Structure 1
Amino acid sequence: MRQVNQMMLQVLVVMHQHAPRVSADMPRSGIVSPMLMSTFLAKTLIVPSLTYFGQQAGLMPR
């Protein structure tokens, strides 16, 4: 279970590192919806699953 948690954290870090660069490189109009979608997905899917795995591993309080 701890391995999964590490993987999820790494994915989050990578996404966080690449997001500003991508949004700076692309034209505003083209990236608005994909960026919004990825932010939405990150908020709705990744964060809850991270907290869930953290709770299961005993790393975060419930």
Structure 2
Amino acid sequence: MSNNTETSNSNSKAPTHIAYHVREGKDKGFWTKIGVAWAHKDNKGFNIQLEVAPLDGRIQLRVATEQK
């Protein structure tokens, strides 16, 4: 089955984005890394690989950087 949307090869490239689960706390949000994402070559979508799926809060995608 073919797909018209070209995607990055997630096995050979580092992820372009990091997925975080964010829960609001009293003073600030609590961020937990839950997965990664690769931008499509046409920059119109993502392949997302989550290790967990949160039941509450939100998922935030951030550009992956060299910093940890």
TM-score by length of 2: 0.20
Query: TM-score normalised to the size of structure 1?
Result: 0.21
Bigger share in helix: 1
Instruction: State the structure with bigger RCO (CA 8 A, min sep 6), 1 or 2.
Output: 1
